[in-house]
Structure 1
Amino acid sequence: MTQCSNQNVFKLLIVERSLISNRGHHHTQIGALKSVFPQAEIHIVAGEGYDGFLGEAVGLIPDEYFKLSRLRAKRLHGSLRQRLRVSLKMLFSGDKQLNTSAYGQELLYTCSRLKISREDMIIVPTADLDSLESAVDVSKRLGEAAPIVALRFLSLTMGEHSPRFFESRLNAVVTDLPSNVKLFTETEEMAAFFGSRYRLPVTGGFFLPCSVGFAQDNHGVHRDCNTFRVGVLGAPRFEKGSRRIPSIIHSTAERCAAEGLHPTEFIVQGSTKDFAANGVYGGLADFTNDGSVRVEQVSDRLSPDEFKKMFESLDAVLLPYDVSVYGLQGSGVIQDAVLAEKVLIHSDGMAMKSFLSHGNALSAVTDQDFADAVVAAAKDPSQLADGVSLARHYYLERLKTLPISNYRNLQE
């Protein structure tokens, strides 16, 4: 990754509301940003339930702030009935006014306490509309002393699931966007969408590695050459196409049995409830250890070290994701797979196309297409070996020129 050319230490305040414990991807963003800015003095603002596993946080954002922010949004952008309800609620509770943003005031206190200046930087790696409103709020209060505030949006809805509220809130906050507030997305596809649909000055390509470190060398990881292992990763969700998995695996089993292939193993993450008879993966109970296709049930609550070990054992990752969501939104699994040199078997039309075009990935539409792609990859894994190596090299080069680094350089 790009290192700052100036050896002088500057303060980097990372605001990650979802940083609570050593699970998921939120904690990995901290390590990735430390690699982007190795000379920075890092400070963290975390969520209310943060357990301190990464060290002491300089601030915690109470959950109550976001409830109050919701009331504020309803009062400013809601229907007449919603506005009246909020006014009555505030009247009876004794509150006379709401903050101008969810946690702008908290950021102001933190900046003052840390003596953060315009030469420093604030980054919100998992930003939403509350983050944008808070960033604009604190920037206007600090005026010319405000540092760069970089917001990285991962979702099309920016955390606001009411289309009417979304557009009203967004239009209100970007009408007078301070010049120090910089907007980013993970994928180029999402940046292009925000630019064309809402005229937002958004830059794509702000990637941060997730569970697999960018400097990790995955060569030499031992895998059973007689078994092809395919990962179905993370807790099942509708938009991840999880309900398609039993059908895809059954179709794969039929192909493997007909062609007498070496065993194919599906490593499927989920809860006990998911694998129950009426669960999303209930149909996988038929696959035992003596068939041409086997299913290994794995908890969706692995520790980061357990997940990493499991991930290293895979040959491929299966992503039958819904492109109505993931046609613009990125996936941490894609980044992990590219860095770990795994084959990607994905829905045709997914975002992050630049990561999927090196001969390292196979696309599919129907469940049978996915089964055919799994079989094709399992028959001759070597056909994709050069592609996965090229994809990893491509990603490592991209990490050297992350767009956030340009704004740090402008301040030096």
Structure 2
Amino acid sequence: MTQGSNQNVFKLLIVERSLISNRGHHHTQIGALKSVFPQAEIHIVAGEGYDGFLGEAVGLIPDKNFKLSRLRAKRLHGSLRQRLRINLKMLFAGHKQLATSAYGQELLDICSRLKMSRKDMIIIPTADLDSLESAVDFSGRMGGAAPTVALRFLSATMGENNPRFFESRLNSFVADLPPNMKLFTETEEMAEFFSSSYRLPVTGGFFMPCSVGFADDDHHARRDGGTFRVGVLGAPRSEKGSHRIPSIVRITAERCAGEDSNPIDFVVQGSAKDFSPSGVYGGLADVTGTVRVEAVSDRLSPDEFKKMFESVDAVLLPYDVSVYGLQGSGVIQDAVLAKKFLIHSDGMAMKSFLGHGNALSAVTDREFADAIVAAAQEPSQWANGVSLAWHYYRERLKTLPISNHHNLQK
């Protein structure tokens, strides 16, 4: 990772509502940000159910805040019927007024307690529209003494799936953002979308490693052995194209049965229900022959996940580009860092990670199967590509845009 600038120690408050337990990607962002800012005094604000596995948090954001924030949004931006319904609900619940944001006041209280000032920084690495509203609210309350607030958006909807609500809420404050606020996205594609569609001053390229750490050596991660292992990682979701996996596996098996092919193992994560006859992966139980399926729990510990990830040669991503055409994928970053080949949907975001000879794109299930078979037959052909992608990501991590925005207000 990049080294922080040569400045005096400052306080860095990391706000991660989804930080609950030692699972998923949220906890890895804390370590990544520590590497970006090694001179910082780190403090964490977590979700209400946080179990303390990373140490004590200086604050927890109550779940009820987001329910009340939703009521406020409907009251301000909803239809006449919605506004009347909310007013009646507030009357019966005894709410005289609603907070102006989900956790703007909480941020102010925490910053006051920590004695944070302009030289300090707040980072919200998984920001949504509630985060943006809260940051605007907080900055207005703290005024000129407010630290820099950096928000990193991972979703093009910012967590608001009602387009009318989204635009109404965003337009209510986007034209007058406080100067201490800096907006980022993970992908360049999403930054361009926000800039062109909403004139938001957003900078792309704020990447952070997820489950796989960055190695300092440049050895090639190709395993020994003739079996080619293809990973289908994470719990199944429709936007990840999980429903396509049985078809892709079946077509691959048909291809391999008709030719002298290297054995291919699909390493598929899911629950027992997912692999049941009625589950999304139920059809995989019938696959036999040169192509085999290894069912793996989707509840692995971080160490177990890393071990499983290291065991694969390639990662399969038949993702829905209506979502992932803008949104980034932590699996892509993990695969590049671990030097794994990528077989992905044509049109996915993070194109700069996929163009080094380390990936093949596909559209139809048959094209995915063809790409898998081609990769399995001659693995050495992509050895140079995965190394080039690894070097590319290493250089990107040395120049993260967030490092240029600390202390702009000093």
1:217/1:55 CA distance change after superposition, 3 Å: farther
Structure 2 residue aligned with 1:365: 363
1:11/1:31 CA distance change after superposition, 3 Å: same
**Distance in 2 between residues matched to 1:106 and 1:279, nearest whole Å:** 42
3-state SS of 2:172 partner: helix
1:324/1:264 CA distance change after superposition, 3 Å: same
Structure 1 residue aligned with 2:294: 296
Q: How does 1:229-240 map to 2 (within 5 A)?
A: 229-240=229-240
Deviations 1:30-77 (A, max 9, x none): 111111001110000000000000000000000000000000001000
Structure 1 residue aligned with 2:125: 125
Q: How does 1:19-30 map to 2 (within 5 A)?
A: 19-30=19-30
**Distance in 1 between residues matched to 2:224 and 2:234, nearest whole Å:** 23
CA contact (8 A) 2:339 2:386 kept: yes
Deviations 1:213-239 (A, max 9, x none): 124658376734211000000011111
Q: How does 1:7-406 map to 2 (within 5 A)?
A: 7-215=7-215, 217=217, 219=219, 223-288=223-288, 291-406=289-404
3-state SS of 1:259 partner: coil
**Distance in 1 between residues matched to 2:262 and 2:30, nearest whole Å:** 41
Question: Aligned AA for 2:155?
Answer: S
CA contact (8 A) 1:203 1:403 kept: yes
CA contact (8 A) 1:218 1:341 kept: no
Deviations 1:75-100 (A, max 9, x none): 00001111111111111222110000
Deviations 1:356-394 (A, max 9, x none): 000000000100000000001000001000000000100
Report deviation, 1:333: 0.2
CA contact (8 A) 1:228 1:378 kept: yes
CA contact (8 A) 2:341 2:358 kept: yes
CA contact (8 A) 1:339 1:395 kept: yes
CA contact (8 A) 2:247 2:365 kept: yes
Question: Aligned AA for 2:367?
Answer: D
**Distance in 1 between residues matched to 2:96 and 2:59, nearest whole Å:** 26
Deviations 1:319-362 (A, max 9, x none): 00011110111000000000000000000010000000000000
3-state SS of 2:184 partner: strand
Report deviation, 1:411: 5.2
**Distance in 2 between residues matched to 1:28 and 1:282, nearest whole Å:** 32
Report deviation, 1:6: 2.2
TM score, norm. by length of structure 2 = 0.98
TM score, norm. by length of structure 1 = 0.98
CA contact (8 A) 2:264 2:290 kept: yes
**Distance in 1 between residues matched to 2:202 and 2:164, nearest whole Å:** 21
**Distance in 2 between residues matched to 1:380 and 1:409, nearest whole Å:** 50
Report deviation, 1:4: 2.1
3-state SS of 2:369 partner: helix
Report deviation, 1:176: 1.3
1:5/1:411 CA distance change after superposition, 3 Å: farther
1:409/1:147 CA distance change after superposition, 3 Å: closer
**Distance in 1 between residues matched to 2:383 and 2:408, nearest whole Å:** 40
RMSD: 1.2
**Distance in 1 between residues matched to 2:274 and 2:216, nearest whole Å:** 32
CA contact (8 A) 1:218 1:340 kept: no
3-state SS of 2:176 partner: coil
**Distance in 2 between residues matched to 1:8 and 1:176, nearest whole Å:** 31
Question: Aligned AA for 1:390?
Answer: L
Question: Aligned AA for 2:202?
Answer: V
Question: Aligned AA for 1:239?
Answer: E
CA contact (8 A) 1:152 1:185 kept: yes
3-state SS of 2:173 partner: helix
1:205/1:220 CA distance change after superposition, 3 Å: closer
**Distance in 1 between residues matched to 2:5 and 2:279, nearest whole Å:** 53
Report deviation, 1:9: 0.8
Question: Aligned AA for 1:380?
Answer: E
Report deviation, 1:8: 1.5
1:47/1:216 CA distance change after superposition, 3 Å: farther
1:411/1:392 CA distance change after superposition, 3 Å: farther
Identity of aligned residues (%): 82
**Distance in 2 between residues matched to 1:347 and 1:216, nearest whole Å:** 30
3-state SS of 2:361 partner: strand
3-state SS of 2:42 partner: strand
**Distance in 1 between residues matched to 2:204 and 2:222, nearest whole Å:** 36
CA contact (8 A) 1:207 1:399 kept: yes
**Distance in 2 between residues matched to 1:411 and 1:39, nearest whole Å:** 18
1:114/1:324 CA distance change after superposition, 3 Å: same
